[in-house]
Structures are given as structure tokens and as C-alpha cells.
Amino acid sequence: MIEANNPNLESWVDVPDGSDFQIQNLPFGIFNTNSLSTRVGVAIGDQILDLQNLFECGFLSGLGMDLEDFASSKLNGIINHGKAKSSSLRNRISELLRKDSSELRDSENASSSLVPMSEAQMHMPVEVGDYTDCYSSEDHARNVGKMFRDPENALLPNWKHMPVAYHGRASSIVVSGTQIKRPSGQLKPADNQPPVYGPTRLLDFELEMAFITHPGKGLGNPITTTEAEEYIFGMVIFNDWSARDIQKWEYIPLGPFLGKNFASSISPWVVTLDALQPYRVEGPNQNPEVLSYLKFDEHSHYDIDLEVEIIPPNGQSKIVCRSNLKYMYWNMRQQLAHHTVNGCNIRGGDMIASGTISGPEEGSFGSMLEISWKGTKPVAMPDGSERKFIQDGDTVVMRASKGLIGFGEVSGELKPAGN
């Protein structure tokens, strides 16, 4: 066990019961305040440990990192050092925060190294180089296949042989709290009608998680399933906003484009893969047997509870989905091995999303498309209104947590189309 994950550890920093940010977590993010420039921090309870300050005071020397890694508006510097050094950094922070460690606790720098979260503004944690979106939940793929294709043969022939994915758009990935404007595009009214241009009428969320990579092995060098986790820095919650009507008209033959690339929202704290180790679980039985490059040894799925809440402008909110990352058919090892098996190279800060994470039964579906079953089963909201898809003024909030680990949340409010 990684000592920083020891469930018995306690911090001298006061951490509220039930906080997502226990000492066993220590996720990394980017923040600033009215008096502090943008920099790297680590969440602990409802405070942020200021890593630039810690480095300047000498607490993070000997780790092979530089001031520029911490006095930065992105985590890429830390991530680009690779797994061993970023893990050592988290271990060092864990040591400094432990109740029985006086080194930081009793130093004159203790108070200046902690910033209340309420005073901080969070930013995009990484410069995303490339973004790939997988389609790895069998329940989601089956639901979509049942709705739009053949209920008897809902999965396409390739689906159980490879983690299907497409290359998405990195430029429009935004941090939690960023308002999302309802996109416009081509809509196709009915079979014999020509397309029209206008705001999407079917604005949806997709409940996903995404992993962020360390630099890979270079062009032409595949990463195996055994090696894959050495190249994964951590994870965030990922809301892949989707315009279903634009998507439906455009996606054949080359796949998603404007129905997807207008925005995706992520949670601001990157939870390291190290911190998630206690939550490994066995995945579903994969049948038919996968090709040898997709086989793996250890339990490589992760047990993380997920939920989605819709908050209308009047505040009477509703949880519309409770799911879990463990429902994925394909795990991250397989996704990364497949992504690179042809020699495609990954870089530090690349983001690879899971695809919509649906569970097996109603209540665990990860998109309004499935929850409302293409609009045929509207969701009753507490104020008496109904939702088939997301309305202007609604805020969509996603949360993820398990045991001593939490991701905080990703939140986004939908604004009307136009200016």
C-alpha cells in the first residue's frame, strides 16, 4: 500500500467529516486569490495548500522539480516529470500534512501556506494537448443502439473487440463554473424536409470521467496494458455536453463533430491515480475473449460513485442519475493500450474520457437521452415542470466520490443561444 493512502492517517489541518479532500486524497489544481498569483495547489479539507509558497520556503526541495512547476497556471510541468516524481511529490505533501509531523505544522510558514477555498478562484488544471472520447460503457452503448438502431442487435460488431473512441476537441474543454451557451447548428426536421440552421433543441449532458496522461513513449511506441497506469497522472469528472439533434444529422459517416465540440466541462481538482489505488475492483467478464494486446492482469476498474443533479433557476433541484465508474466494460489500461497500439503517441496533459457512464438499470443512465428515452419519458422536477433535455437557465452538477476520496464537482449553467 502507498503510505499516503493509509486510512489511519490524520492531518493537523482541520478536515471536516465527509469532506472530499481528506489527507488520503491530495488532488492537484490551479488557483489564484485577490492577493496570490495563479499557481499550483493541493486540496485539504476546505483549504488549499499553496505549493508555490511551500517550494519557495524550501519544503519541496530534493524532488527534482523547479519553481516554474509550481508558479504556473497549468499542472503540465509537474505532469511532464512523469509518474515517479509526481508520486514522490504527493508523498512528500502527505508527510508534511500528517498530524504527527511538526516540520510544516510548527513552522512560521504554516499559516501562509494554507488558503481558504472560499477565497480562491479555480482554473483549468491542465493545458489539454489532445482529447479523445471513448464509448466504453456497455449499458450506454446498448441503450443508444436500442433507440437508434436495432433493439435485437444494439451493439455494433466491433464494440466488444475494441474500446471504440473518436478524437475530440481540446480547445473547448472548460473548468467547472464556466457558463455554456446553447449551440446552434444544422438541424434536420423530418425525412423529406431540408435542414435548417438554429439553436439545438436537444441539449444534453454526458456523465463521464477522464484521465490525464504523463508523456508517453514517443511516436511508434505502443504502451501495453501492463505499462498503461505508469502513464496516467490522474482523473477528473467530465461533462461532455452534447447537442443530440445536431449530432444525429451530422455524424454519418465520420462521427461526432459540432454536436460535441462546443464545450466539455471538467472538475478543477485532479485526483491522482495513486490516490485511487484502494478503490480498484474487478471489471465485468469480457466475452468474447479480447485480443492479446487488450488483456490485463490486475483488477483495473475503479469503484467511484457518480451522480448528476439538475438545478433549475428556481433552485428546486433533482438528482437524475446515480452511476458508478466500475460499470465500464473497457478499463483505462485497455483504452490507453488500444489508443497507442498503432504507434500513436500521447503527450503530458492529454485527456482521454470514458464515454457516458451508464449503469444497468433506470436511475443509473448517464445522459438525458437515455433517462428520458429519447424524450418519451420526461423527468418530473420538484416544481412540477418536466425535463426531456436541458433547458436554458438549468445548471448541471456532477459529483464523484468513494470512501476517503472525492473529486468535488463539475458544474455548468446553460445560457440561451445568441449573445
Query: Is residue 140 among the annotated active site residues?
Result: yes
239 and 396 Cβ atoms separated by less than 8 Å: yes
Told to check if 133 binds Ca ion by CB under 5 A, we report yes
Q: Least separation, in Å, of the C-beta of 291 and Ca ion? A: 24
337 and 222 Cβ atoms separated by less than 8 Å: yes
| String marking each residue 161-200 x if it binds Ca ion according to CB under 5 A | ----------------------------------------
Question: Going by DSSP bridges, is the β-strand pair 131-134/351-353 parallel, antiparallel, or unpaired?
Answer: parallel
Position with the least CB separation from Ca ion: 240
Instruction: Give 195's DSSP letter.
Output: -
Which C-beta is closer to Ca ion: that of 20 or that of 206? 206
Q: Least separation, in Å, of the C-beta of 328 and Ca ion? A: 13
Residue 262: CB atoms within 10 A of its CB come to 20
CA dist 346 and 239 (Å) reads 22
Q: Least separation, in Å, of the C-beta of 140 and Ca ion? A: 9
Name the active-site residue from 140, 301, 338, 339: 140
Strand, coil or helix: 197:
strand
Which C-beta is closer to Ca ion: that of 12 or that of 407? 407
Told to check if 206 binds Ca ion by CB under 5 A, we report yes
Q: Least separation, in Å, of the C-beta of 137 and Ca ion? A: 10
Q: Which stretch binds Ca ion (CB under 5 A): 1-9, 123-131, 203-211, 367-375?
A: 203-211
What Rg value do the Cα atoms of the chain yield, rounded? Answer: 22
Told to check if 138 binds Ca ion by CB under 5 A, we report no
Residue holding cell 479532500? Answer: 21
Query: Which residues in the 221-260 window bind Ca ion by CB under 5 A?
Result: 240
Q: How many amino acids of this chain bind Ca ion (CB under 5 A)? A: 3
| String marking each residue 81-120 x if it binds Ca ion according to CB under 5 A | ----------------------------------------
Strand, coil or helix: 191:
coil
273 and 232 Cβ atoms separated by less than 8 Å: yes
127 and 349 Cβ atoms separated by less than 8 Å: yes
Q: Least separation, in Å, of the C-beta of 168 and Ca ion? A: 8
Query: Which residues in the 314-343 window bind Ca ion by CB under 5 A?
Result: none
Q: Among 28, 22, 42, which residue's Cα sits nearest to residue 99? A: 22
Which C-beta is closer to Ca ion: that of 69 or that of 240? 240
Q: Least separation, in Å, of the C-beta of 309 and Ca ion? A: 19
Q: Least separation, in Å, of the C-beta of 351 and Ca ion? A: 12
Q: Which stretch binds Ca ion (CB under 5 A): 71-79, 111-119, 191-199, 201-209?
A: 201-209
Which C-beta is closer to Ca ion: that of 190 or that of 252? 252
Which C-beta is closer to Ca ion: that of 133 or that of 350? 133
Q: Among 409, 257, 406, which residue's Cα sits nearest to residue 319? A: 409
How many helices and strands, by DSSP H and E, does the chain display? 9, 26
Angle, alpha carbons 362-281-135 (nearest 5°): 55
CA dist 46 and 161 (Å) reads 44
Query: Which residues in the 35-54 window bind Ca ion by CB under 5 A?
Result: none
Residue ranges of alpha helices (H) inside 212-340 are 244-250, 332-340
- C-alpha 54, offset from chain centre: 27
Which C-beta is closer to Ca ion: that of 69 or that of 307? 307
CA dist 327 and 403 (Å) reads 18
Which C-beta is closer to Ca ion: that of 145 or that of 278? 145
Please list the active-site residues: 140
User: Footprint of Ca ion on this chain (CB under 5 A)?
Assistant: 133, 206, 240
